[in-house]
Structure 1
Amino acid sequence: MATYTHGHHESVLRSHNNRTIANSAEYLRTHLAADASLLDVGAGPGTITVEFAERVAHVTATEIGETELALSRRAAADRGLTNLDFSVEDVHALSFADDSFDVVHAHQVLQHVADPVQALREMGRVAKPGGIVAARDADYAGFLWFPLIPELDEWLRLYRSAARANGGEPDAGRRLLSWAKAAGFEDVAATASTWCYANAEDRAWWGGMWADRILESALARQAVDSGLATRADLERMSAGWRQWADAEDGWYLVPHGEIIARA
């Protein structure tokens, strides 16, 4: 397993808790049949997971540890959902039997794993014949923003370096189709979608979240401990994020690759 670069600080969960089917899994919506069983790999705080559970017959949520899995358990309990179960799993070697699920889904997972091709093979193994393997990942090298604030360039270089040091691939979005082909899938539809932040409320949320995240998350600790950045560097990047958030013409684009592969 690679190391999860972001960690689970409040500033990270602030971002993850905003994810829904509409903004993060719309490409999969038409494949969510009411009688389907779905495996959600790397469920995180469970905000997408519980929406799946409101649309399909049964959902199994996985995470890398019990502490992480507790977040999605809590989200399910808060909605009073009973059609879910939970399992600590390594996506490289899932514990489930072959042909177990109609849909196998992973959002922002493959960019963090040590071997995304093996992960996709495992996702395909546990999908039923003719079932769906779906993945969506951001592509950090494709991030775009305005105004052109040098500290954000510095932040992006730092993040990509840290992610690769942890064994991940931050520019995963553009690689999903290639990884799926390497994993043996023959029927793969590749698409793309974006997050875009361009109004005052979105700028305050996205910029404020990253201004805190670069100072307080696991990424910040790694950067200082490994010598990738000093605390002063992180403070400067945080100020750059707040400068962007305060810009009346601020605009930010996060591109994502997506795949729907038939098992």
Structure 2
Amino acid sequence: MATESYTPGYTVHASDFMARRTLQSHGMFFHAHLKPGSTVLDCGCGPGSITIGIAEAVFPGRVTGVDYARSQIELARQRAVEHGTANLDYLTATCYALPFDDASFDCIFSHALLEHLAEPSRALAEFYRILKPGGSIGICSPDWGGFIVSPPSPALSDAMQAYMALQTKNGGDVLIGRKFGTYLHEAGFHTMSMQARYECYPSLNLIGEYLARQLARDGQQEHASTWLAWSRSPSGLFAQTWVSAIGRK
């Protein structure tokens, strides 16, 4: 089995960064498939900020959030309590061996997970197994080959390549977005649509510190410092490419 490590880590800073994401900001590509009364799996749910929105969309249906990290499940459960969301269940599990019977869910949603997996095809095979016939799957990941970062400089290009190399070293695939159609087809899904969009960060400090922390933790202080220096630019841009795909079983 290939090895993998979650590049962002599970620090408070990383969890807070992920918790900015909501169904409205990062999951609307799949919203039309979230019907009231549906059963939905959110795999790689993290701190549960998107999962809350899914639960609201399918009420009175039920949503199950799954994450490999117990710390993230604890945060997600706390968030559900704070929001008073009752149609939610959370559990710790690996996406390679999900503890559900065949054909258990009407929909499967997975955001910002597959790019960190050494074996995404194994995860998609599990998704196919537990999805009901006729059910829909929505997946979304960044594709680092389409990012726009400015103002450009050789040092910034090196820092960008350093982060991409770090995620690759950890078992991930920074270009997985463009491969979604192939992966879905090979898993048995009928690909219904693919699309790409840019997320432009309103705060360079937010994304600069996020990337710098991960490189510094890996001992790459020079590249971390480059990201921090860039984040202080008064005229910078960080446009992140998100690729989403919808399939049907």
Q: Which of the five TM-score ranges fits, normalised by the shorter chain? A: over 0.9
- Identify if the C-alpha distance between structure 1 residues 152 and 75 changes in structure 2 by more than 3 Å, giving closer, same or farther: farther
Contact 1:163 1:169 in 2 (8 A): yes
Q: For the residues of structure 1 that align with 2:191 and 2:181, how far apart are their CA atoms?
A: 10
For 1:252, the equivalent position in structure 2 comes to: 238
Could you tell me which amino acid in structure 2 is paired with residue 181 of structure 1?
H
Specify which of 72, 84, 100 is matched with residue 104 of structure 2.
100
Give yes or no for the alignment of 1:234 onto 2:224. yes
User: 1:188 Cα deviation (Å)?
Assistant: 3.4
For 2:87, the equivalent position in structure 1 comes to: 83
The count of residues paired between Structure 1 and Structure 2 equals: 245
Give yes or no for the alignment of 1:180 onto 2:184. yes
List aligned pairs for 1:150-229, cutoff 5 A: 150-197=154-201, 202=202, 205=203, 207-217=204-214, 219-222=215-218, 224=219, 229=220
Please state whether the residue corresponding to 2:138 is helix, strand or coil: strand
Q: Percent identity?
A: 30
Which string of whole-angstrom CA distances, capped at 9 and with x for unpartnered residues, describes residues 138-193 of structure 1? 10121012322444322210111011111110111111111111212234322222
Q: For the residues of structure 1 that align with 2:216 and 2:26, how far apart are their CA atoms?
A: 26
Q: For the residues of structure 1 that align with 2:168 and 2:7, how far apart are their CA atoms?
A: 9
Which string of whole-angstrom CA distances, capped at 9 and with x for unpartnered residues, describes residues 32-74 of structure 1? 1011011000111111100111111111000103212111111
Contact 1:9 1:216 in 2 (8 A): no
Could you tell me which amino acid in structure 2 is paired with residue 52 of structure 1?
I
Could you tell me which amino acid in structure 2 is paired with residue 220 of structure 1?
A
Q: For the residues of structure 1 that align with 2:158 and 2:128, how far apart are their CA atoms?
A: 38
Length-normalised TM-score, structure 2:
0.92
User: 1:79 Cα deviation (Å)?
Assistant: 0.1
Contact 1:143 1:253 in 2 (8 A): yes
- Identify if the C-alpha distance between structure 1 residues 233 and 189 changes in structure 2 by more than 3 Å, giving closer, same or farther: closer
User: 1:109 Cα deviation (Å)?
Assistant: 0.4
Q: For the residues of structure 1 that align with 2:194 and 2:114, how far apart are their CA atoms?
A: 15
Which string of whole-angstrom CA distances, capped at 9 and with x for unpartnered residues, describes residues 209-256 of structure 1? 233224434x4312x1xxxx3x2342233212222xx22xx3332111
Give yes or no for the alignment of 1:49 onto 2:51. yes
Length-normalised TM-score, structure 1:
0.87
Q: For the residues of structure 1 that align with 2:72 and 2:31, how far apart are their CA atoms?
A: 25
Cα RMSD of the aligned pairs, angstroms, is: 1.6
Structure 2 gap segments, 5+ residues each: none
Give yes or no for the alignment of 1:10 onto 2:12. yes
Q: Which has the higher contact order (CA 8 A, sep 6+)?
A: 1
Q: For the residues of structure 2 that align with 1:211 and 1:145, how far apart are their CA atoms?
A: 11
Please state whether the residue corresponding to 1:145 is helix, strand or coil: strand
Structure 1 gap segments, 5+ residues each: none
For 2:41, the equivalent position in structure 1 comes to: 39
- Identify if the C-alpha distance between structure 1 residues 59 and 155 changes in structure 2 by more than 3 Å, giving closer, same or farther: same
User: 1:10 Cα deviation (Å)?
Assistant: 3.2
